[in-house]
Amino acid sequence: MELESLTIDGTRAAVASGEITANELANLHYERIDARDGEINSFLALSRERALGQAAKIDAMAAKGDALPALGGVPVGIKDVLVMQGAPATAGSLILKGYRPPYDATAVGRLEAAGAVLLGKLNCDEFAMGSSNENSAYGPVLNPRALDRVPGGSSGGSAAAVAANLAVATLGTDTGGSIRQPAAFCGVVGVLPTYGRVSRYGLIAFASSLDRVGPFTKNVKDAATVLQVLAGHDVMDATSSDRPVDDYVGGLEKPVEGLRIGVPAEYFGEGLDLEIRGAIEGVLAGLKTVGCVIKPVNLPHTKYAIPTYYVIATAEASSNLSRFDGVRFGLRDAEAKTLSEMFRRTRDAGFGAEVKRRILLGTYALSAGYYDAYYKKAQQVRTLLTRDFLTAFAEVDVLVAPVTPTPAFKLGEKTDDPVKMYLEDIYSVAASLAGVCGISVPCGETKDGLPIGVQVIGRHFDEATMLRVAQAVETGQLR
């Protein structure tokens, strides 16, 4: 079986018909991981026993002629900031080396309940802090489309695994662009759900008011299928919304004619790569051809999004990461003579440079005398950014914009300049701060063969319209 063309529908159909068993399919993916992932470094741990046990259950259903669930037999990988019972959960950090959680994240449990075969845990920037997946304590992930390039971050392993056909779908997380940006860099589909649409229970937190869980897939329909499984209220997550979940897959069949497409002027300014601009303009022209109304809009506070994000996200990280101290789980310095020395030595040895940088920034922003000037002010600007989106969505149904200012950059190109690295998120952090939904869809390649992604941004809890437009974009690319 050709893994390159394998989709969720194709997997279910093949397993249900007996063309291939879920067990055989899982082993085919493990063989490919063994053969290919040595150069890509997308997987940190494999869960063969659990995966093959699940595959046996799916095969038993197929043998009896039972209808398979939505993800029956589909090989899936999990970003290593989401916990899986018994599997390592390092969050890409040395400080959690050896930690094996006793429970599943809600998103993980829902995938498996829907029939997914969980292959293992995927590499990522340490504690999801990064835009290139070069911050992992376990080595960088390479972009399968160009091995001298980054796959994007922080969910680089999740994007690379799908792009290299090591999994049919994967889970990632997005705090300021960590699903959409690697999806664009690797040429796959990546979804940022509305904040509260997918449970965060079992997610090792970076910034709790920003973190979101979403899928990577090979096409938009697969993304809609996985999101359908993940979405919905969870009593274990107080931020989880109880709003009804739309029929994402069924909604893809609705026409896009008449939809109003907003084009934010602030996303097409200085610094945008000309080939990316051309590809996005091509998408807009295609949407106009099928009957969409293209309308310029403004998001006037966009210029404040990066500094606002890096105050709020680092402040929340400073608070969340204080729990990693060597006392309860993970790394512990064995040579310390006192408790306070053990804290210091463990955290110094366990945290990488980028995590330390963000903890220091966040601690400063929250400190006495600076809270009002930084964190409080950033939250006020966040409100203005959210209002920008609400104002725009009063006039249009979705926004279409670039995902990134440049194609995938070379490994090591920006590691010595944190500000330049942070600016890679310039088109993604505003939607994160506003809590709206977004998706990255492949829309072409540069002259060097590097993938280009287009971003479709939707209203709060209107993933259905966002996915419908994304499907139109994808279909246009296939004509």
Picking from 104, 218, 119, 240, the residue whose alpha carbon sits closest to that of residue 169 is: 218
Show the tokens assigned to 171. 């889970």
Q: Is 418 exposed, middle or buried (0-12, 13-18, 19+ CB in 10 A)?
A: middle
Show the tokens assigned to 190. 């990546």
Please check whether residue 467 is in contact with residue 251, taking contact to mean a CB–CB distance below 8 angstroms: yes
Show the tokens assigned to 322. 């204080």
Beta strands in 139-211, from DSSP E residues, in sequence order = 169-174, 189-192
d(Cα 178, Cα 21) in Å, to the nearest integer? 34
The β-bridge relationship of strands 169-174 and 189-192 is unpaired
Please check whether residue 453 is in contact with residue 478, taking contact to mean a CB–CB distance below 8 angstroms: no
Picking from 98, 88, 95, 467, the residue whose alpha carbon sits closest to that of residue 259 is: 467
| HEC readout, 272-316 | CCHHHHHHHHHHHHHHHHCCCEEEEECCCCHHHHHHHHHHHHHHH
Q: Which residues pair with 117 in a beta bridge?
A: 75
Please check whether residue 134 is in contact with residue 411, taking contact to mean a CB–CB distance below 8 angstroms: yes
Task: Check the CA dihedral 431-142-446-413 and report its sign.
Answer: positive
Please check whether residue 175 is in contact with residue 128, taking contact to mean a CB–CB distance below 8 angstroms: yes
DSSP 10-62: HHHHHHHHTSS-HHHHHHHHHHHHHHHHHHH--EEEE-HHHHHHHHHHHHHHH
Catalytic residue numbers read 79, 154, 178
d(Cα 126, Cα 135) in Å, to the nearest integer? 6
How far are the Cα atoms of 32, 278, 401, 438 from residue 265, in angstroms, in the given order? Answer: 44, 15, 9, 18
Q: At what angle are helices 305-320 and 353-366 packed, to 10 degrees?
A: 100
Q: Which residues pair with 191 in a beta bridge?
A: 439
Rg (CA), the chain: 21
Longest dimension (CA), the chain: 71
- CA 142 to chain centroid: 17
In the chain, the amino acid numbered 152 is G
Q: At what angle are helices 220-230 and 463-478 packed, to 10 degrees?
A: 160
